[in-house]
């Protein structure tokens, strides 16, 4: 009950721009990132090494690429749980194409094309037929990964052309990997699209009040459709990077990534209810998650225990502000 009334509360007066900056989610998250960085540096002597840090970025770059598009989708009030399955299907298609002797440019086109195709299907089902996105994408998640399983079974594809390895293993400049470079470029593009264009404003408008947005002349369905297409595209691009980095494809590739990507987005301060959030927050959240997993990895903590930390991180970062806000409200004004 209290959650319902809390949600639409608007303060009488916004703080000054400096106080708002320091009180913002992004500032809090940034401090968490710095603390984790310092803790890592103390915990392991191998942490503060340019090449190690560069390797650490591979923990999050692919997921973050998808997380950018997912952030727009969640801000608009929808969600796509099929992203990891799209990565698997695109990777399977690229593997099959590589077996058929198709070269690197063709493989990239196929990977991105499959991503777009899957996004198209989600878009038609959610925006076209107006179905709830959670259930639809749970369905397409089984469908897409299921097709990968039908094609591959318990087999694996390998034998990608050597030049294909560049996307996941190449370096643009010194320790800056191609993936990290792409991550940076995409972060800037998504930040501009979300925060500086008409299209971005409309995404917020839809997420805050779809009904009002429709009456303001926004093509709600068209924008949602575009966002699903965009998410599919990003999953395709992430699939190219991941497949290139691993050099082989199994149908279980990127298993469970949808949850990590949603965690990244929510951790980045995007409201799961839609309507608010920034790309900057998602970028910092990507670093936080990457640093946590890398730091724990240096300490020989098994992957499944790391996932406990990620889960705790997700719940505490959402819970803390709510508890603090409540404690603050109890004080007499």
Partner 1 sequence: MIRQLFKYREMLLVVVIAILVAAFSTRSPGFARPANLANIFNDTSILIILALGQMTVILTKSIDLSVAANVAFTGMAVGMLNAAHPDLPLAAIVLVALGIGAVLGAINGLFVWKLGIPSIVVTLGTLTIYRGMAFVLSGGAWVNAHQMTEPFLQTPRQLFLGLPLLGWTAIVIVGIMYLIMSRTFLGRAIYASGGNPTAAVYAGIDVGRTRFYAFVISGTLAGLCAYLWVSRYAVAYVDIAAGFELDTVAACVIGGISTLGGIGTVAGAVLGALFLGVIKNALPVIDISPFAQMAISGSVIIAAVIFNARQERRRGRIILRDRGASEEIGVAA
**Residues in contact with partner 1 by the rule CB under 8 A:** 1-4, 6, 74, 77-79, 125, 129-136, 138-147, 149-150, 153-154, 209-211, 214, 251, 259, 262-263, 266, 272-274, 302, 304-305, 307-308, 310-312, 314-315, 318-319, 322-323
In the complex, the smallest distance separating the C-beta of residue 301 from partner 1, rounded to whole angstroms, is 11
In the complex, the smallest distance separating the C-beta of residue 228 from partner 1, rounded to whole angstroms, is 14
In the complex, the smallest distance separating the C-beta of residue 300 from partner 1, rounded to whole angstroms, is 13
> If 0-12 CB within 10 Å is exposed, 13-18 middle and 19+ buried, where does residue 77 land?
buried
Considering the complex, state which of residue 74 and residue 240 has its C-beta at the smaller distance from partner 1. Answer: 74
Considering the complex, state which of residue 14 and residue 304 has its C-beta at the smaller distance from partner 1. Answer: 304
Considering the complex, state which of residue 72 and residue 141 has its C-beta at the smaller distance from partner 1. Answer: 141
Considering the complex, state which of residue 48 and residue 312 has its C-beta at the smaller distance from partner 1. Answer: 312
Q: Cα–Cα distance between 73 and 262 in angstroms, integer?
A: 11
In the complex, the smallest distance separating the C-beta of residue 129 from partner 1, rounded to whole angstroms, is 6
Considering the complex, state which of residue 96 and residue 191 has its C-beta at the smaller distance from partner 1. Answer: 96
The answer to whether the beta carbons of residues 241 and 61 sit under 8 Å apart is yes
In the complex, the smallest distance separating the C-beta of residue 5 from partner 1, rounded to whole angstroms, is 10
Q: Cα–Cα distance between 82 and 116 in angstroms, integer?
A: 13
In the complex, the smallest distance separating the C-beta of residue 222 from partner 1, rounded to whole angstroms, is 16
Considering the complex, state which of residue 150 and residue 176 has its C-beta at the smaller distance from partner 1. Answer: 150
């Amino acid at each position: 009950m209290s959650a319902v009334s809390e949600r639409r509360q608007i303060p009488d007066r916004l703080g000054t721009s400096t106080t708002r900056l320091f009180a913002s989610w992004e500032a809090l998250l940034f401090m968490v990132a710095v603390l984790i960085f310092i803790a890592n540096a103390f915990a392991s002597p191998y942490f503060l090494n340019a090449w190690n840090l560069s390797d650490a970025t591979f923990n999050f770059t692919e997921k973050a690429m998808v997380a950018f598009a997912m952030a727009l989708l969640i801000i608009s009030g929808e969600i796509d749980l099929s992203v990891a399955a799209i990565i698997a299907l695109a990777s399977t298609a690229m593997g099959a194409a590589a077996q058929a002797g198709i070269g690197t440019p063709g493989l990239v086109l196929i990977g991105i094309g499959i991503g777009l195709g899957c996004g198209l299907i989600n878009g038609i089902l959610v925006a076209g037929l107006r179905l709830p996105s959670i259930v639809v994408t749970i369905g397409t998640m089984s469908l897409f990964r299921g097709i990968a399983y039908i094609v591959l079974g318990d087999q694996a594809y390998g034998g990608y052309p050597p030049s294909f390895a560049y996307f996941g293993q190449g370096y643009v400049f010194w320790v800056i990997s191609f993936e990290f470079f792409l991550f940076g470029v995409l972060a800037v593009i998504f930040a501009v699209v979300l925060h500086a264009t008409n299209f971005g404003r409309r995404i917020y408008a839809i997420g805050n009040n779809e009904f009002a947005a429709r009456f303001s002349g926004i093509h709600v369905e068209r924008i949602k459709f575009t966002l699903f297409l965009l998410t599919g595209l990003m999953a395709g691009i992430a699939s190219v990077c991941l497949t290139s980095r691993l050099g082989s494809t199994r149908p279980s590739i990127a298993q469970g990534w949808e949850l990590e990507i949603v965690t990244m987005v929510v951790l980045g301060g995007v409201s799961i209810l839609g309507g608010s959030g920034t790309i900057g927050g998602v970028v910092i959240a990507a670093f936080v998650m990457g640093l946590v997993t890398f730091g724990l990895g240096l300490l020989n903590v098994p992957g499944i225990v790391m996932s406990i930390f990620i889960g705790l991180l997700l719940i505490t970062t959402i819970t803390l502000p709510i508890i603090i806000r409540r404690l603050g409200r109890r004080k007499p004004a």
